[in-house]
Amino acid sequence: MPPLASGLLGALDPTSDRAVFRQIADQLREAIDKGRFREGGKLPSETELVDHFGVSRMTVRNALSLLQQEGLAVSEHGKGVFVRPRPPVRRLASDRFARRHREQGKSAFTVEAEAAGSRPEVDGLEVKEERPSPDISARLGSPRKVLARRRRYLLDGRPVEFATSYLPLDLARNTPIAQPNPGPGGIYARLEEMGHRLDHFDEEIRARMPTPAEVRTLRLASGVPVIHLVRTAYDADGRAVEVCDTVMAADAYVLAYQLPAT
């Protein structure tokens, strides 16, 4: 088998006290960061890495496994190990809920996907009436029941986000919001048509490791954390009209904020 192309990977440092498999992982990680191996591209095979570094196959497997645990690589059975694609979706908080997007019939997710050059999809949609959790109830002013809208968002076929919107039932029942497809501009456009002109949003964000259910839903690679965001929408009268509980794959988004200078 021919050697790896010159410059792709360097040599091991025999004087280092860092484990050999970690040195190999370091070199692969650096090569990925510098674009020598592109997103979706195949990494060198186990045999190529064994020949290049002069180590055992188990050492190479440990190095590749470490990259997979970090979410940088993914193994495809019978094909090899590939650089995991990471769609660069930019969520600009000060713009994503701008009224002009709703007036154009676009949801925030659609706007962001178009900016990233990706194909947006929504699946796993569920709309039902239910009793809210104590936290959701408190945020919405303690309604007895809510309308819950659950859905999963995908970019180019890859799940990146799962969200549940909760709205007071007296506000949402028997309206287009209770339909699977609420229409152009989404539920915020419908709320404003109903006289609830949106005034501001409060967002709480934290990073954490995913639950097993979130790993399955978002098809997360081992070691990839999630961003947990809870957003409350208020109308011009100060009423909380929606709470959206969202879990996002942390490697799929860049959260951007524009802050006032004063």
pLDDT tens digits, 175-214: 999 999 999 989 999 999 999 999 999 999 999 999 989 9
Query: Which residues are CB-neighbours of 122 under 8 A, at least 6 positions away?
Result: 109, 151, 152, 153, 154
Angle, nearest 10°, between helix axes 20-33 and 46-53? 110
Closest-CA residue to 185 (of 89, 93, 100) = 100
Quote the pLDDT of residue 54.
95
Non-local (6+) Cβ contacts of 104 within 8 A are 185
Those residues with Cβ within 8 angstroms of residue 250's Cβ, 6 or more apart along the chain or in another chain: 207, 224, 225, 226, 227
Q: What is the pLDDT of residue 90?
A: 66
Predicted confidence at residue 69, as pLDDT, reads: 83
Closest CA to 203 of 78, 108, 106: 108
Q: Per DSSP, which regions of 80-180 are E strands?
A: 80-83, 89-92, 120-130, 146-155, 158-168
Q: How far is CA 178 from CA 106, 145, 148, 169, 186, in A?
A: 18, 14, 9, 9, 11
Q: Residue 258 has which token pair? A: 């524009």
Residue 178 corresponds to which tokens in the numbers above? 């209770």
Instruction: Calculate ∠ Cα 142-143-144, nearest 5°.
Output: 115
The list of the chain residues with pLDDT below 70 reads 1-2, 86-96, 258-262
**For 143-171, how does the pLDDT look when each residue is reduced to its tens digit (9 = 90+)?**
999 999 999 999 888 899 999 999 999 99
Residue 112 is given by DSSP the state: H
Q: How many residues does the structure list for the chain?
A: 262
Q: What is the helix, strand, coil percentage profile of the chain, to 5? A: 30, 30, 40
Task: Identify the pLDDT of residue 2.
Answer: 65
What CA–CA distance (Å, rounded) separates 17 from 177? 60
Six token digits for residue 159 = 């799940």
Contacts for 217 with CB less than 8 Å, ≥ 6 apart: 124, 152, 159, 162
